[in-house]
Each structure stands twice: as structure tokens, then as C-alpha cells.
Structure 1
Amino acid sequence: MEESINLYELTFSEKDRYVIITNAYPHEDQLYRNGFIHRRVKAYLDEGLKVDVFVLHPAYKKAEKYTYEDVPVYRGTEQHLRIFLNHKIHKKALIHFVNPKMVQAIKETNSDLPIITWIHGFETEAWHRRWFNFLESPESLRKILEMSDDYYVSQLSFMNWFYQTTELDTTFVHISKWFKEHIAECDARAESKNSIIIPNVIDDNLFTFIEKPAEMRTKVLSIRPYASRKYANDLSVKAVLELSKRPYFDKLEFAFYGDGKLFDQTVEPIRDFENVTIHKGFLSQEKIAALHKKYGIFLCPTRLDSQGVSMCEAMSSGLVPISTDITAIPEFVKHDVSGLLTKPESPTDIADAIERLYYNSDVFLRVSKQASQSIREKCAVDVVIKRELEIIKG
């Protein structure tokens, strides 16, 4: 439970602390807010790092503190962040989803504080990268065009400065080479100095590999958000409709899990199929890992991804991912080696990939093992956290 606090009166019994500044963090009432950051923090704590989290958001008018799974979390406005940083007990600031207010607070209170900034996605993208989200109505298109003259221009102007400035000691962490070169630096029109590529961590201790029997090639799982068209859930649904025309369709089993404003309308066309189950709602990481044990194929087409974390988690569990040969996905899935990649905007290609696995159990078994092995080599806790700690402590 959160409590209102007086930041001026805060006392810290230990020095050598690190502060993580972000725009959202899990809470008992909001379990899915940047959960991937929390997984990092837990791993840092396991390695002996002392970490505080500060959530900067205008919705928190009062300074508050709560504890989530042993992690101390503070939240408030930009002014509260300034007061917090003025204690000057942190060795470095670790930023996720950076915005000008976070950096301004550091400049005004402790400009010598080294900064490590993770670049994830929308904070460094031009508006047109997500064109597919604005086709629902003239109103949504009008709104984003208005924002393109204000929010996106100012944010990208800030990123242009931030990537290049010598006023601050900053290291940038990009989660994929494709995203760094083709989106982050391209849209900001600047090269990010002092940068490194480290993917998001996958909890391979939770998403464990158990060898799949050949029969699981008929069991297809989709666990996706439905808040944006970037996840291409409509293509998954159309692939099921395409497969329904093929003679072996009733031998397949599909499960769709997720939630968001697009959920009901997206899955409506496949609700009446007896071999399709639909589950509206979000799942804990533990429940997702348990579901992975019951299925063999993970359906995850996309229109824009800087990594595809849920896909990587499924790969760690040994599911064969069927995704799209687009954006950063090929950095994490090699076609016909650790997964199957399909053409963009092609439900038929997705259906053909499922058909290939149905008729070729040897391909399914081979790719299942290689998917788990390859993603662990890239994204396992030991691999990623070791690299992150090297730059955090360095």
C-alpha cells in the first residue's frame, strides 16, 4: 500500500545506491506496468545492488512510497524527483522511457550523475511508425496529426540533443541493432554516442525448456496485448479463418489470451469454432509459463517490434514461434532454425507455416529445441544481467 511521504525528510542508512527513473512500475493494483523493468531490478537485487525506483508521472500529485516485492518505489512529479535527487546518495541514474523532465531534473540537481538510458521504442519514434493505429476513424487520424506537430516534434528534438550532448555523462542501451539504426537514430536524426546493444532479459529460470512431444505441433497459443494494431492479432485471426478451409483444421487446437480495446472485435470472427478457445484478461508470468507447457506453437505476427519479449519467453519454453520477417524480429528468430518467419501482412503465409509444422513433426521437434537454445544464448538472465551490471558498475 502506498503512503504519502515528505521527501525532504527522507533518510538513507546506506550509500552506493542506484536510482531507476521510469514512467510506470508494477503495483498491487497495476501488475503489468513495465514488468520487464521489475524483472531487471529483482535480478540486480539478487546481485547485491541497492536500488530505488522513482516513477515520474504527472498523475501523482503527492509524493508517495510503496514497496513491491521488496523493491522500494517512490512516485511523484518532476518537482518531487528534484527533491529526491538532491539527497545525492545515488551513484548512477538508470532511465527507462526517457523524457525531457527526467533529464532536466538531473541537470538541475546533480549534473555530474552518470546516466544509463535504455531505449525501448515509442520515446524515440516518429508518429508515422505506428500508422496502423490511426486507421479506425477520421478522429483518431486527426488527433495523431495534431500530436505530430507538438508532442512528437518536441520529443524527437529532445532525443536529437540527448544523443549528442556532452553536458551529461550518458550511456545508451539499445535492445536491438535494427531498432537502433533504423528507428531510434534515424527518427532523431542523430547517432547515439557511447551506446551498446543489450536485449531485454528473459527469465529462463521461469520459462524453462521441457522437450515437446510431436503431438504438441497441433496446439497453437497466442498471448498478446490488444491495445495496438502493432501486435497484428488480426492477422492471427485471419490465419485461423484460412486454416478452417483446410482438411486437417479440426485436428488443430487454438487458444487466444489477451485484453485491450481491440480484443472483442478482433477475435469475434473465430468465436464459434469448437477448436478455438478465447480468454479475455491478463495473465501473471507464472500462468504464462504454465501455459507454455501445454502448447507447441506460439503465434506472434507483428507490424513493429524492437525485440518481441513475449515471443522470446515462449522460445525459452520451447514453443516454435511463428512471427513476421520484419523490423527487429530476425535478430531473435532465424527462419527455419529457431522459428518460422512469414511475409508481412500475409495470413496465408502464417497458415502455411502452421501447415508445414503439422505435416513435418521433425521440423517442429528440431526448431523447438533450437528456439530455446538460441534465445537463452542471447537473452538469459545470466547473459543479460552480467552485461548490464558491467556497465552499471563500470
Structure 2
Amino acid sequence: MKILVLAQDYPSVDHPYAMAYVHSRNIEYLKSGHDVKVINFNAKNQYTFEKVDIYPFSYELLNSADVILSHAPNIRNHFKVLKKIKNKKICFFFHGHEVLHKYRDYPPAYPWKKESYAKKLVLHLYDILKIKLVGHYMQKLALKNNVSSIFVSSWMKEQFIKNVKLDPEILGKTAIISNACNSIFFKSQYNFDQKNKLADYITIRPLDDSKYAIDLVLNFAKNNPDKYFHIYGKGNYFNFNEKPKNVEVFKQFIQQKDIPELLNKYKFAIMPTRYDAQGVMVCEMATYGIPLITTDFSVCLEMLSSFSNVYFLKEEEFSTVKSEKIILADKNDLNYKFSPEKLIRDELDFINAI
């Protein structure tokens, strides 16, 4: 198939995390022999990243595709261009924010992140309009095209129905297919390198978004002063909050291909969340096999309950639990729940059947 992928952003050498879960899919589509092109609405020029060709917007690409895969569709770009086409196969992938309310669904921002009342009101009204228009445009597109939808979790589909107030089954076929792990997390398995150990715990998170709960990592660190913690991520959190002595922060991005080797130098990963549609990086760490601590948020339980190397804590427990009370398997049978081969095969079978 000629597959055209629409994404608001896409990985590059300088921004390796930008919608990386979309890139992981495209690598597997290429391996399966499909012609894959990506429209990155943020791109100014064509570029190639790990054999995937990425382009600025082009109607020529849109019209020549056999199937269009729209990831996290937004009204600013995705629906603006899609509403002008007809007689196409369009598959929408719902990942989260595109059908969620910032101030109704997400946890409150950290108190030091000040926003004016006017800005909050504008964003609140925008979210109401955004979600209403998603439902409106999807119904309009379904009249002229073959529309289908993939949700990355059962939780995500429930949120779509709750907010959009539309049953996607009415528009076309639907499926729940999680984001796949990048294949590098299957090429080897976690093997703790005691000789080159860097610290006890590793966290890889954006620092300033409260949903990624860096404060819970710090609570755990304060409660376990005999353990050492490394946090990788950028942000201003520590301009406003004290850093415990047993925590070191590295303000840098880690490319996906380098994460497995880095994980081997830590005994545990600690990756809490307050809100997520799946949590791809946490799923990748769990798949790789490092003993991992996360929160008991419903999506974490849905995604990771079958992993023996994952331990779930309630938010308040990050301040009370001692590390020695957490018993996790050091070695695990490889869990294929997020296997790219399996999930991409499911996606391609679904798309072929549209």
C-alpha cells in the first residue's frame, strides 16, 4: 500500500521524542514492504529520519495515497486538509490530548506554573470547540470517505465517547490497538551492569508537566535517602523546587536507540504518571525487563498488569514506601504484549479490511 501518515510533529535528530510512537509504526510498515511517507505539519523542509521520508504538507501526497493514517487529528491541520478530499480510506489514531479537556481531564498544573485567568478561559473555550469540531468533521468525512478509528487503549476509547459524545462505531470500523514498542527493546533484554552502575533509580521524563509527576519521584527519593536517583529530562522544575541531595538531574534528551544500554546501568526505573492514554516509554521499559515502579492509574494497570517486573504504587505511597519493601523479578520472560510485529500486523490487517 501507499501509506500516508499525518502527524503534527515527527522525530528528527534534534527532537528524537516528537511523537516517537508514530515513527515506531512507520519503521515496521517499511519492513512489511509498504510505501510510507509522512506529512509533518511542523516541517519546513523535507528530511529523512531512520529511513523514513518526511515532508511538509502537500496535496499531491494526500491525493496519491491508498490510505491516510491521521495520528492525534487536530482541527488546525488534519481536519482542515482532510475535509477537502473524498473517496479515500482514512484511519484516525486517537492518542489522547486531541479529544481531552486540559482543565477538566488533566491533573492541575504545578502551582509555580502561573497562567492568567484570561488564558485559562481561552484554552477552556478552545477545548470545548475543538472536541465538538472533531465529532462534526468525522461525521462529515464519513459521508464521503471510508473512515475508521484505532484507539491506543480501552480507556482512550471511553474518553472519546465521553467527551465527543459520539459512538465511533456509527462512523465505521474501530479497534483497540496499543502503540507498539520500538523494536530495539526486543533485540536484547535488561542485564544490570553492576560494574558500571550509575545510580539505583532512573527516570526519563519532561520535568514541568504535572501528569508526569516528577514530584512523586522526589517524594520517593526523600523517603529513601540511602538510594541514588538520576532524572533525565528538560524543564524548569528545579528553578522553583529544591532538589534532594540523592538526586542528580541531566537536562538532556536520550535517543530511543540509546535507552536500553542506559537502563542496564540502573537497578530500577521509577516512572509515575497521573494521566496518560498509554505511556509508551513506560511500556518500553517494562518490555525491556528493568524492574519498574509506576502509579496505579487505570491505564497503567490496563497496559502493565501482565508484567512481573512492574510494581504499582498509589500516589501517597511514593512518600511512605521504603525501597526494600518493593520486591520485583530481576529476570523476566520476554513479554510480547507490545511487540511491533504483532501490533503492526494487527494494524495492517485492520487497515486492509477497511
Task: Report the TM-score when normalising by structure 2.
Answer: 0.87
Are the aligned partners of 2:206 and 2:235 in contact in 1 as well (CA < 8 Å)?
Answer: yes
Q: Which amino acid aligns with 2:92?
A: T
Are the aligned partners of 1:134 and 1:144 in contact in 2 as well (CA < 8 Å)?
Answer: no
Q: Which amino acid aligns with 1:303?
A: R
Q: Which amino acid aligns with 2:343?
A: V
Output one character per residue of 1:328-350: Cα deviation in whole Å (capped at 9) or x when no partner.
Answer: 1101222894411111354225x
In structure 2, C-alpha distance between the alignment counterparts of 1:31 and 1:205, rounded to whole Å: 15
DSSP 3-state at the match of 1:319? coil
Report 1:112-261 matches (<5 A). 112-127=87-102, 128-133=104-109, 135-136=111-112, 139-140=115-116, 142-149=118-125, 151-162=126-137, 164=139, 166-167=142-143, 168-181=145-158, 183-193=159-169, 194-207=173-186, 208-210=188-190, 219-244=200-225, 249=226, 252-261=227-236
Deviation at 1:260, TM superposition (A): 2.2
DSSP 3-state at the match of 1:226? coil
1:369 to 332, 338, 341: 332
Q: Which amino acid aligns with 1:314?
A: M
Report the equivalent of 2:25: 40
Report the equivalent of 1:53: 38
In structure 1, C-alpha distance between the alignment counterparts of 2:267 and 2:114, rounded to whole Å: 41
Deviation at 1:92, TM superposition (A): 0.5
Report the equivalent of 1:356: 325
Deviation at 1:55, TM superposition (A): 1.6
Deviation at 1:32, TM superposition (A): 2.6
DSSP 3-state at the match of 1:152? helix
Deviation at 1:45, TM superposition (A): 0.7
State whether structure 2 residue 347 is matched by structure 1 residue 388: yes
Report the equivalent of 1:289: 260
In structure 2, C-alpha distance between the alignment counterparts of 1:263 and 1:192, rounded to whole Å: 43
Deviation at 1:221, TM superposition (A): 1.3
Total equivalences in the alignment: 343
Deviation at 1:152, TM superposition (A): 0.6
Are the aligned partners of 2:232 and 2:252 in contact in 1 as well (CA < 8 Å)?
Answer: yes
In structure 1, C-alpha distance between the alignment counterparts of 2:98 and 2:160, rounded to whole Å: 9
In structure 2, C-alpha distance between the alignment counterparts of 1:211 and 1:138, rounded to whole Å: 43
In structure 2, C-alpha distance between the alignment counterparts of 1:278 and 1:174, rounded to whole Å: 34
Q: Structure 1 residues 209 and 138 mapped into 2: Cα distance closer, same or farther (>3 Å)?
A: closer
Give the structure with the larger helix fraction: 1
Are the aligned partners of 2:200 and 2:229 in contact in 1 as well (CA < 8 Å)?
Answer: yes
Report 1:8-47 matches (<5 A). 16-47=1-32
> Alpha carbon RMSD of aligned pairs, Å?
2.6
Output one character per residue of 1:56-107: Cα deviation in whole Å (capped at 9) or x when no partner.
Answer: 24xx6xx63222222221114xxxx43542xx32100001120234234233
DSSP 3-state at the match of 1:222? strand
In structure 1, C-alpha distance between the alignment counterparts of 2:349 and 2:13, rounded to whole Å: 31
Question: Structure 2 stretches of 5 or more lacking a match?
Answer: none
In structure 1, C-alpha distance between the alignment counterparts of 2:138 and 2:92, rounded to whole Å: 10
Percent identical residues = 24
DSSP 3-state at the match of 1:379? coil
Q: Structure 1 residues 282 and 47 mapped into 2: Cα distance closer, same or farther (>3 Å)?
A: same
Larger radius of gyration: 1
In structure 2, C-alpha distance between the alignment counterparts of 1:67 and 1:104, rounded to whole Å: 25
In structure 1, C-alpha distance between the alignment counterparts of 2:3 and 2:60, rounded to whole Å: 16
Output one character per residue of 1:191-240: Cα deviation in whole Å (capped at 9) or x when no partner.
Answer: 22221111111124445314559999x82111111241110011110111
Question: With CA pairs under 8 Å and 6+ residues apart, which has the higher RCO, 1 or 2?
Answer: 2
1:308 to 279, 292, 298: 279
Deviation at 1:39, TM superposition (A): 1.7
Are the aligned partners of 1:163 and 1:190 in contact in 2 as well (CA < 8 Å)?
Answer: no
Output one character per residue of 1:111-155: Cα deviation in whole Å (capped at 9) or x when no partner.
Answer: 111111110111010122124226435535541222111x21221
DSSP 3-state at the match of 2:168? coil
